[in-house]
């Protein structure tokens, strides 16, 4: 190896480490500045409200995904869990919005238990275990709803998606509270330390006597519950239960938000604030392209490109 290479490597390692830790914040700032100067009416309060509301479901799902990825897993079923939750809402709204929401969240918990059991106790690879629910869950949602879009007219339930408290949309408040809770769980609890340890080295965690299987099941349960909450909020905002559309490609958006937020796919670390900004970045990318008359398909290609760059940066850092 040449002396020039030896002198460049430390700098390159510093750059990749900085990009993984802070790149998402820089990207959000750059996109905001671009829109301020080049996008008409971007600075309006109504536009900021719209962007935050639209980013909230992605943020909520991504928080659960971050915990799963922190254990070196992945949850491809989140979009289908959202669809199941959406399909259940109209069936139980007659008993009251709270009952309908509880039933939807329980469905998410059961879905997470199913995936977690397959991963933790049967040793099935997470991508395979959750792929089964990705396919079967969407089908189950369509069966529950008889393949129909159902209008939701309960005003108390609709208030979740359209109402606000002191000018802050309820959806944004829910996402913010869940983000704070996720941060506290990761940083301040024994469960959070176990989660990071399991993701960092599962064999060593087992030898150390950590409850590895319980931790694995728990993160999938949390991911399922958060996906169900996102499905409830999406249904409330749309004013309709549409199991064929709610949560579609949400797994892609959530994984992207987590990865660009600095949580490595190899596990062992969870960056909650980075995940929140990752969700904001995904929303800003999509909004920017749409406002400049580029099709939604272009946004998906840009999302894919962002994933590739984020994974490359993470790989470069882990190889040092």
121-147 per-position pLDDT tens digit: 999 999 999 998 998 999 999 999 988
Residues 234/57, Cβ–Cβ less than 8 Å:
yes
pTM of the model: 0.91
Encode pLDDT of 66-106 as tens digits: 999 999 999 999 999 999 999 999 999 999 999 999 999 99
Distances (CA, A) of 309 to 16, 24, 64: 11, 11, 22
Distances (CA, A) of 40 to 43, 114, 301: 8, 47, 24
Does the structure show a pLDDT above 80 at 32? yes
pLDDT of residue 1: 46
Residues 246/238, Cβ–Cβ less than 8 Å:
yes
Residues 235/246, Cβ–Cβ less than 8 Å:
yes
Encode pLDDT of 49-63 as tens digits: 999 999 999 999 999
Count the neighbouring beta carbons within 10 Å of the beta carbon of residue 171. 26
pLDDT of residue 59: 96
Choose among 137, 101, 111: nearest CA to 235: 101
Choose among 137, 147, 145, 286: nearest CA to 223: 137
Cα–Cα distance for residue pair 161/241, rounded to 1 Å: 13
């Amino acid at each position: 190896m040449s002396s020039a290479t030896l002198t460049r490597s430390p700098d390159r390692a510093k750059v990749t480490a900085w990009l993984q830790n802070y790149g998402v914040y820089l990207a959000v700032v750059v996109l905001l500045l671009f829109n301020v100067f080049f996008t008409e009416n971007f600075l309006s309060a109504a536009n900021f409200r719209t962007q935050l509301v639209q980013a909230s479901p992605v943020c909520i799902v991504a928080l659960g995904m971050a915990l799963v990825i922190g254990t070196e897993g992945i949850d491809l079923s989140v979009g289908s869990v959202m669809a199941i939750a959406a399909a259940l809402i109209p069936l139980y709204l007659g008993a009251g919005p709270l009952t309908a929401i509880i039933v939807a969240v329980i469905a998410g918990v059961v879905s997470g238990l199913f995936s977690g059991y397959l991963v933790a106790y049967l040793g099935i690879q997470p991508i395979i275990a959750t792929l089964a629910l990705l396919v079967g869950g969407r089908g189950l949602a369509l069966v529950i709803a008889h393949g129909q879009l159902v209008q939701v007219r309960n005003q108390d339930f609709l208030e979740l998606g359209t109402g606000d408290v002191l000018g802050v949309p309820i959806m944004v408040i829910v996402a913010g509270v869940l983000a704070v809770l996720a941060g506290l769980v990761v940083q301040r609890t024994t469960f959070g330390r176990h989660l990071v340890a399991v993701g960092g080295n599962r064999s060593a965690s087992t030898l150390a006597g950590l409850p590895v299987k319980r931790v694995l099941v728990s993160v999938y349960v949390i991911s399922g519950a958060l996906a169900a909450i996102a499905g409830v909020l999406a249904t409330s905002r749309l004013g309709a239960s549409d199991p064929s559309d709610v949560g579609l490609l949400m797994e892609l958006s959530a994984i992207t938000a987590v990865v660009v937020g600095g949580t490595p796919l190899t596990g062992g670390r969870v960056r909650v604030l980075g995940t929140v900004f990752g969700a904001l970045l995904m929303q800003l990318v999509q909004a920017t392209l749409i406002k400049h008359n580029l099709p939604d398909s272009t946004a998906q290609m840009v999302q894919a490109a962002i994933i590739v760059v984020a994974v490359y940066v993470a790989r470069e850092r882990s190889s040092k």
